[in-house]
Structure 1
Amino acid sequence: MRIAMWSGPRNLSTAMMYSFGARGDCAVWDEPFYAAYLDRTGADHPMAAEIVAAHEADPERVAARCCGPIPGGKAHFYMKHMPHHMLPDFPLDWAEPCVNIHLIRHPARVIASYGAKREEMTLADIGFPQQAALFDRLGGLVVDSADIRADPAGMLGLLCAEIALPFDPGMLRWSAGGRPEDGVWARHWYGAVHRSTGFAGPEGPLPDVPDGYQSLYKAAMETYSEMQARKLVLPKA
């Protein structure tokens, strides 16, 4: 099985990669198209030059690996993708036979978390419109990160059932520190995940959105609300 997990930044996406990577039968890949995106756009991201130098920057070659042999001879391949990395002329046909899952998070939390790591952001930087466009093209399942944090075993069990993948309780824990598959950008972005050994508990109240990001927040909320209406929901006890 090939799983394409689509998520904007600061969305629990790395913890989800660690969760699937904790399975003995699953290879993982961290943001395959990031270097290609930076190389093509010249976006001023932290460590941009180092990322392009360290990772494959040809989108055609990346796409070929997405549908090529699964690393390590594993049965399943979990790919952590960012919607905004998929520029209009990047190949996407590789994703059509994948199990496509869309991980969402409330925009107020995304804006607060992203802003702590990067001073400026646009709507395109946090990926909400691109994720909606990918959902329209590829379809798939929608999962809210808040639901995973509130009940990791329940939501991961439901997700695995939906994609016909046996749930492995090992997905709930991982070793502290990084994974060999981490991109070189991990040392800038993954501090909290590297200190963790499992999913954190439920999140607290929503953070305030700064005045300068209110228009961005409103636009992101429109997309988030549409996606949230399609999310997986645990049956009521």
Structure 2
Amino acid sequence: MSAAPKPIVLWAVPRSRSTAFLRIMLERGDLEVVHEPFSYLQADGHFELGGRRVTSAVELLDVMLDVNANERRVFAKDTSDYTYTPLLEDERLFCDVINTFMIREPHDAISSHYAMNPEATLDEYGFEYLHAIFDAVRSVTGEVPLVIDGDDLVADPEATIRAYCERVGLEFMPEAMRWDPGQWANWQRTDRWHAEVAESSGLVAQTPKQRETPDTNEHLRRIAEHHQPFHDALARHRLSPRR
């Protein structure tokens, strides 16, 4: 009997359109889709998956691997505004999980993040720590992890999702590119961050909103200057959906 395919984790910088990506994975219907389990665990001190309540990242990884092996393949999306030190010390994260990454041009991601949380710290914008996770995966596995760009996802949704699926061993399902608008119960706790996805029925480019940007706000300019090199280092490995 062949082993189950490995669970997939998408590590994403905040405001990279990763929730829209997760919405597509949810619409497939063949995956156990988990929304920001490690972030919620950090914030709340507990998380429930597969009917089990866990209180540590190592326990959560235990359950994730068990669900993946015995029930359905797991797809989890999480963000890099928290740190996950105990998790990154567990070799199973590197050996038994497919780790993928999602970026977005810092100017837009930082502007969007600031509009949602003007009190965010420098680290919470997430590019530096996303790069640290990427480096940890590359160092242990000896392979360059998959990196996708949220701007590509909007510019060419089908090609981006098709290329991602091919790399992680999923069948591409074109019917999953559309969905009925509405909130998903599993993101209710942070639903204000996902309002645009909840109101949508698919991926479309939207007119940029009027908001503070690194061009108009000195604080955001300093944040962008700090994080730009980490974005650029990841962008060098970005999957081009047209390749």
TM norm structure 2: 0.82
Q: Residue 193 of structure 1 aligns to a residue in which SS?
A: helix
2:103 corresponds to: 104
Matches of 1:84 and 1:220, distance apart in 2: 13
C-alpha displacement of 1:109: 1.0
1:177 corresponds to: 182
For structure 1, which segment, 170-179 or 88-97, has the greater mean C-alpha deviation from structure 2 after superposition?
88-97
Check whether the contact 1:63–1:92 (CA below 8 A) recurs between aligned residues: no
Check whether the contact 1:104–1:144 (CA below 8 A) recurs between aligned residues: yes
Specify the code of the residue in structure 2 equivalent to 1:193.
Answer: V
% of aligned pairs identical?
Answer: 22
| Pair 1:163 & 2:168 matched | yes
Task: List runs of 5+ in structure 1 lacking aligned partners.
Answer: 39-50
Matches of 1:54 and 1:77, distance apart in 2: 15
Change (3 A) 1:110 1:214: same
| Pair 1:32 & 2:29 matched | no
Change (3 A) 1:170 1:92: farther
Specify the code of the residue in structure 1 equivalent to 2:30.
Answer: D
| Pair 1:215 & 2:222 matched | yes
Q: Residue 205 of structure 2 aligns to a residue in which SS?
A: coil
Check whether the contact 1:148–1:156 (CA below 8 A) recurs between aligned residues: yes
Check whether the contact 2:12–2:77 (CA below 8 A) recurs between aligned residues: yes
Specify the code of the residue in structure 2 equivalent to 1:125.
Answer: E
Matches of 1:8 and 1:215, distance apart in 2: 17
1:130 corresponds to: 129
Q: Which has the higher contact order (CA 8 A, sep 6+)?
A: 1
Check whether the contact 1:67–1:94 (CA below 8 A) recurs between aligned residues: no
Kindly tell me the number of residue pairs found equivalent between the two proteins.
222
1:42 corresponds to: none
Matches of 2:36 and 2:162, distance apart in 1: 24
| Pair 1:224 & 2:231 matched | yes
Q: Which has the higher helix share?
A: 2
Change (3 A) 1:95 1:117: same
Check whether the contact 1:54–1:184 (CA below 8 A) recurs between aligned residues: no
Specify the code of the residue in structure 1 equivalent to 2:233.
Answer: E
Matches of 1:203 and 1:99, distance apart in 2: 34
